[in-house]
Every structure is written in structure tokens, then in C-alpha cells.
């Protein structure tokens, strides 16, 4: 029987290795930028075409390579970063495996130009599918330029799995942000289809953060620093009021290497406990400096996972550092233990009422003498009961639990001239296909609905009483309308009298381009402008009195949140996001007509009982249940 085990050719082995290292164009950007940093570059330029599918080029002014090093750099496990196994636990460079260039050259066409400062001529190499196509001397600038063309040209299956240009560009921007944040002392620039996306100058970390995420972040940051024998922590955290529902603006760096670490993220979240809701995530950029012997970065080819030899101590130090920063910048409630509340200089009357001579003790006797009251105090004591006159009657009339005197309420409404404002609820038309549903509510003309705390709608039904949360109900109504518009391309729009131009950060701008078709089908009318700008000319007809920029930013934030947590069709995510953002808020006062219209539209929707994300929209109190409330003995009432 013949032997069946054989060594794979280098070309196939490199393609297998590339599956771990090169997952998408963003992976190539990451590896090439890290190599440029290890080459001690001070200026790094990234050029992208068609989201990296056609071209990824990284140009640096680093140390360059000799002709021999340039050729060896494309061999597997060829590296200048380590020499022995002991070096794995003293790594300060970004790369060390020696797999990046070999993996990239296995699935793309690569052109390399490199020159050392001491050399007169540089080197030009051309690789394709792990095969050397050309090698010659060439005149070029000091440093290295690597151009990766036609990614996955020889692996069609991998190429077919790539997403749209907007999606792939967002992943490239994520990688660019992480490396640019880690090295704020290096100049970075990014160009996409010959358009400048970023031009970041070397400077302080806070300047790099505002250059990437926007100038409005400057007032949202608090400095964080802690030095211990084990680790040193330095960076910035976001103020609690600026926390978002979506993750993505959280950055951990260990020895300037970006990592993902859920355990350390939990430490930061614990520090913010009580300051932000449980479903919100704060912004932070935290750098951890630690001796490499205490960590292991050789866990995954992407090098974004890391292990600490004492994770609990690191956890405790990070949590304490963040809490200290929150307290130092007065972002948490604090008590002033140095002040004496019994001797407050702002209350001089207390010092006058308690002179030292009023209480004397000595010789075992008690020489206490009652305090003498001033004429003003005597008058106050004799008239104190007048303060409460009329409050008892007012408290009964303004019962916060919504006890209504229907006759008095109706009469007062007829006698007073009230001014009401338009709300989003009455902008919704009541059109739509007729549905045969078991509608429990009375006809609009025969029922009287009431609003409780401008948040709930209480309306009588045939079987008792129904309490509806107005925001949840409106969200369900809008979701059905938006989803129908997306499926039928029938979104109605209202033109703006004055178009509004908004500026987005590059990541959000790419997200807009990714879902541009869906946004237009909802009824938005806009024009894409250079420099990540949009000119809004129209908004969906169901949305009124909204600031266009706040609407877009809120919609995008909600979309990113749903996109990361829901596994449903994109149309459904878009409809949910805009419905969530546009629904009337708790505290919005509605007229009787608006309340009845909202109730009718809710019961004409596809699922009146629940919002799109599964929250209940209403609670039904049957007559039997109401009767039980009043017939139970007192000792059976639940507290």
C-alpha cells in the first residue's frame, strides 16, 4: 500500500495561512501599517481604491530594507523581530510571526519598493500568488512602499464573501483608528479613491482623539492615570452623560497594541455603575504599560487577544483608576468630609441662637438655661399653620395617581381656552388595508381617553380598562409604516424649505452609503457631498419638528446598536431604528383626538400588543380584575 501523507506545496500552505491572517482588506491594512511602525516611520500614508479590493498601498519613511531582506520578507516565518523562544516574552514590536507578507502575497499581487538611507539605489519586487515575478534595482525614496492589488484574485470563493465597498471601508477605518490612536506621535494620512479621508498630524493623544471622532469630543473627556509597580494606566474616559447604547468607541491598548478584552471592559463598566444605565457604554481610550513577561500575546494570529498572568490585579487597578478619574473630575456625587455642617458660616442665625453661655456645666451641676427667642421667632411660631392653608385641597385635586373627576374635568375644559401644539401623533394618517381584528375598543366617537402623566393613555374598553404606553404604541405604528415603505419603495417625503448640510465622521458616512437605498426608500431626500457631508433636502412625512442632524445621528446610533445585537434583515433594522428614534417621547402632551387616533392606528397594526423589539405596548384591566382589587381583605393586599 502506498504512502498517502505528503507535504503541501508552499503556495497551498501560504493560502491556508492567509485564511487566518488575511480575512478582508482591513486585515491587509493592519499588517502593513504595523510593519511601517516597526520600521520606525514618522510619516505613514495609506492609499485605498474600491475599499481595498483593487488597491491597498502603504507608504512610509522608515528604515527600509536591503535587497536580501526584501526577498526574505515574503518567506514564511521570516522576521527580524525575534531570534529565540525567550524573545516571545519580551516583545515590544507590533509584528513578530513573520507570516503577514507571505500570507498577503499568496492571495494578491504585491509590488514592493524599498530603500535604506545608506543605499544609492532601492529594490523593486513583484510577487503574485507566492511566485516571484520580478526583482530589480530601482530609484526610489527612502523607506518602503507596498502596493497590494487585486486581493483574492486567485481565490474566487474568498472574494465572493467580501461585502459591499461601504462595509469593507468601515472595517478599514476601524483598523486605521486603532493604530492612529496608539501612535499619536506619528503623522498618518488616509486616501480613498483619491479623496483625502484623514490627515492626522503628530501631537497629544487628546488632539488625536478629537481629530478622529470630532471636535465635540474635547469637552466629553476626562483624563485617567494610575501608576503601580505592576502596570501603568494612562488615557481618557468619556463623561457619563455622553455614554452611548452602541459599543465601538472603547479602546484598550497594551504596550500600544490594540486588544479586545471583555474582562477588563467589565472593570470599566463596574466603575461607571450607578452613573449610566446598564445598556449604555462609555467612551474610553486606555493605555496599559506592563512588562512583556507578564503577558502572552501569542494567542491568535490577529494578535488582538492577550493573556495576563494576574488578571484580577489588573482588573482591580483599572477599576480603581477609572473611579478615581470620575471622582477627580467631579463626575460622581461626592461628600465633603472636611466641612462641618454644624458650623456653616452661611447660617449665622445658628451661631446667634447657641451662644456658649447658654449651656454651662461644672461642679457636677446642671446650669442649663432655656434659649431666649427673638420677637421675630415668636411671630413665626405663632403663624406657622398659615403656611399649609389651602394645600390639602390642592393635593386632592392634583393627585399624582391620576384620580379623575370626569364631570369637573369636562366642565373645566369647556370653560377654559387652552392652547395646544402639534405632536407627531396627529401627523400620521389612518390609511392602510382593512384588517379583520378582534378590536376591543369602542369607536372613537363613543369613548373618552385620558392621558396619565403625559406618558400613558387610559381608555375604556368593552371588557374593562386599557392602559397604553404612548411611546411604545407609536413605535409599533411607525415601524409598520416604515417597513411597508421599504418593501414597496413608497416612502412619502416632505421637502424642506431650507436644505440642511450636516457633516459626519468618516465611519458614519460610510454607513450612510451602505444603507443609502433603504434611507431613500424611507422618504429621505439628500445629496452626497465631498468631505463626508450630506445635504438634507427632505425627510419622511411621518417625522415633524426634528433637527435634521440630530435625527440622522440618532438614527445611525440606533441602527448600529440594532445591527450589533439583532440577527434580522437589514430592512427590519432600518425600520426599527427610525421608528425608535422618531416615536413620540414620554412627557409629550396629546389632545383627545390625537390619543384616539393613536389607539386606532395601534389596533390596525400588525401586532398591537408588542413593539418591534418585544416590549408590551398595553396592559388590560378587566372588570373582574378591577373588582378583585376592591373586594380583597386588607391583609391580602400585596405590598
Task: Kindly list the structural domains of the chain, giving each domain's residue range(s) and its CATH number in brackets, ordered by start.
Answer: 10-200 (3.30.565.10), 205-328 (3.30.230.10), 424-622 (3.30.1370.100)
pLDDT at position 97, please? 64
What is the spatial distance between Cα 348 and Cα 217, in angstroms, rounded to a whole number?
A: 44
**Which band of pLDDT confidence, cut at 50, 70 and 90, is reported for residue 91?**
low
What is the spatial distance between Cα 506 and Cα 484, in angstroms, rounded to a whole number?
A: 30
Read off the pLDDT of each residue in 378-395 and give the average, rounded to a whole number: 50
Within a 10 A sphere around the Cβ of 637, how many other Cβ atoms? 8
Burial class (CB in 10 A: 0-12, 13-18, 19+), 68: exposed
pLDDT at position 73, please? 87
Burial class (CB in 10 A: 0-12, 13-18, 19+), 338: exposed
Partnered with residue 237 across adjacent β-strands are 222, 284
Q: Parallel, antiparallel, or unpaired: how do β-strands 464-469 and 618-622 relate?
A: antiparallel
pLDDT at position 581, please? 84
In this structure, the chain runs to a length of: 639
**Which band of pLDDT confidence, cut at 50, 70 and 90, is reported for residue 82?**
low
Phi-psi region of 146 (alpha: psi -120 to 50; beta: other; left: phi over 0): beta
Share of the chain above pLDDT 70, in %: 74
Cell of 485: 415603505
Task: Determine the Cα angle at 507 with ends 266 and 32, to 5°.
Answer: 85
Q: Parallel, antiparallel, or unpaired: how do β-strands 43-49 and 187-192 relate?
A: parallel
What is the spatial distance between Cα 578 and Cα 570, in angstroms, rounded to a whole number?
A: 12
pLDDT at position 300, please? 66
Cβ atoms 253, 233 nearer than 8 A: no
Burial class (CB in 10 A: 0-12, 13-18, 19+), 165: buried
Share of the chain above pLDDT 90, in %: 26
pLDDT at position 506, please? 84
**Which band of pLDDT confidence, cut at 50, 70 and 90, is reported for residue 244?**
confident
pLDDT at position 109, please? 94
Cell of 418: 387652552
**Which band of pLDDT confidence, cut at 50, 70 and 90, is reported for residue 75?**
confident
Read off the pLDDT of each residue in 288-301 and give the average, rounded to a whole number: 80
Tell whether pTM > 0.85: no
Give the residue with greater pLDDT, 544 vs 404: 544
Number of H helices, E strands in the chain: 20, 24
Using CA of residue 172, residue 194, residue 109, residue 115, what is the dihedral sign? negative
Amino acid at each position: 500500500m502506498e504512502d498517502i501523507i505528503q507535504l503541501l506545496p508552499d503556495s497551498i500552505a501560504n493560502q491556508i495561512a492567509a485564511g487566518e491572517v488575511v480575512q478582508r482588506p482591513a486585515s491587509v491594512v493592519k499588517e502593513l501599517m504595523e510593519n511601517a511602525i516597526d520600521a520606525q516611520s514618522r510619516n505613514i500614508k495609506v492609499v485605498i481604491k474600491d475599499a481595498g479590493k483593487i488597491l491597498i498601498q502603504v507608504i512610509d519613511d522608515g528604515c527600509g530594507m536591503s535587497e536580501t531582506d526584501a526577498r526574505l520578507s515574503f518567506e514564511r516565518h521570516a522576521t527580524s523581530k525575534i531570534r529565540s523562544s525567550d524573545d516571545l516574552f519580551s516583545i515590544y514590536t507590533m509584528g513578530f510571526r513573520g507570516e503577514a507578507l507571505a500570507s498577503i502575497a499568496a492571495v494578491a499581487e504585491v509590488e514592493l519598493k524599498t530603500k535604506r538611507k545608506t543605499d544609492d539605489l532601492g529594490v523593486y519586487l513583484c510577487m503574485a500568488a507566492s511566485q516571484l515575478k520580478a526583482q530589480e534595482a530601482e530609484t526610489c525614496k527612502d523607506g518602503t512602499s507596498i502596493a497590494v492589488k487585486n486581493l483574492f484574485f486567485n481565490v474566487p470563493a474568498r472574494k465572493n464573501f467580501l461585502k459591499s465597498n461601504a462595509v469593507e471601508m468601515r472595517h478599514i477605518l476601524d483598523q486605521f483608528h486603532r493604530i492612529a490612536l496608539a501612535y499619536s506621535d506619528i503623522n498618518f494620512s488616509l486616501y480613498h479613491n483619491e479623496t483625502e479621508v484623514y490627515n492626522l498630524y503628530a501631537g497629544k493623544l487628546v488632539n488625536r482623539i478629537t481629530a478622529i471622532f470630532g471636535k465635540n469630543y474635547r469637552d466629553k473627556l476626562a483624563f485617567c492615570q494610575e501608576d503601580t509597580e505592576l502596570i501603568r494606566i494612562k488615557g481618557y474616559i468619556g463623561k457619563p452623560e455622553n455614554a452611548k447604547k452602541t459599543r465601538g468607541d472603547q479602546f484598550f491598548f497594551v504596550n500600544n497594541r490594540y486588544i479586545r478584552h471583555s474582562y477588563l471592559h467589565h472593570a470599566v463598566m463596574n466603575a461607571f455603575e450607578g452613573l449610566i444605565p446598564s445598556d449604555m457604554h462609555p467612551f474610553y481610550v486606555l493605555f496599559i504599560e506592563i512588562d512583556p513577561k507578564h503577558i502572552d500575546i501569542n494567542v491568535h494570529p490577529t494578535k488582538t487577544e492577550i493573556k495576563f498572568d494576574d488578571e484580577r490585579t489588573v482588573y482591580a487597578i483599572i477599576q480603581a483608576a477609572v473611579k478615581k478619574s470620575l471622582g477627580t473630575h467631579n463626575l460622581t456625587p461626592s461628600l465633603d468630609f472636611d466641612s462641618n455642617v454644624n458650623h456653616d458660616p452661611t447660617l449665622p442665625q445658628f451661631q446667634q441662637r447657641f451662644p456658649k453661655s447658654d449651656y454651662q456645666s461644672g461642679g457636677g451641676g446642671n446650669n442649663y438655661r432655656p434659649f431666649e427667642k427673638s420677637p421675630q421667632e415668636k411671630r413665626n411660631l405663632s403663624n406657622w399653620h398659615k403656611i399649609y392653608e389651602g394645600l390639602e385641597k390642592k393635593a386632592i385635586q392634583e393627585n399624582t395617581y391620576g384620580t379623575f373627576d370626569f364631570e369637573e374635568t369636562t366642565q373645566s375644559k369647556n370653560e377654559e381656552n387652552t392652547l395646544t401644539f402639534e405632536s407627531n401623533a396627529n401627523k400620521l394618517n389612518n390609511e392602510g388595508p382593512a384588517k379583520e381584528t378582534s378590536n376591543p375598543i369602542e369607536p372613537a366617537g363613543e369613548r373618552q381617553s385620558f392621558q396619565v402623566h403625559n406618558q400613558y393613555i387610559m381608555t375604556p374598553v368593552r371588557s374593562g380598562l386599557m392602559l397604553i404606553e404612548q411611546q411604545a404604541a407609536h413605535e409599533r405604528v411607525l415601524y409598520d409604516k416604515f417597513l411597508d415603505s421599504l418593501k414597496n419603495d413608497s416612502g412619502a417625503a416632505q421637502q424642506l424649505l431650507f436644505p440642511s448640510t450636516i457633516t459626519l465622521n468618516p465611519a458614519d458616512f460610510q454607513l450612510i452609503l451602505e444603507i443609502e437605498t433603504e434611507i431613500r426608500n424611507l422618504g429621505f431626500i439628500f445629496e452626497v457631498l465631498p468631505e463626508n457631508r450630506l445635504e438634507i433636502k427632505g425627510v419622511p412625512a411621518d417625522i415633524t419638528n426634528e433637527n435634521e442632524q440630530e435625527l440622522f445621528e440618532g438614527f445611525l446610533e440606533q441602527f448600529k446598536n440594532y445591527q450589533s445585537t439583532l440577527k434580522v434583515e437589514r430592512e427590519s433594522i432600518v425600520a426599527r431604528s427610525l421608528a425608535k428614534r422618531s416615536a413620540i417621547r414620554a412627557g409629550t402632551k396629546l389632545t383627545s383626538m390625537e390619543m384616539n387616533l393613536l389607539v386606532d392606528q395601534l389596533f390596525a397594526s400588525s401586532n398591537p400588543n408588542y413593539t418591534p423589539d418585544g416590549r408590551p405596548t398595553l396592559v388590560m384591566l378587566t372588570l373582574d380584575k378591577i373588582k378583585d382589587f376592591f373586594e380583597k381583605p386588607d391583609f391580602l393586599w400585596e405590598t
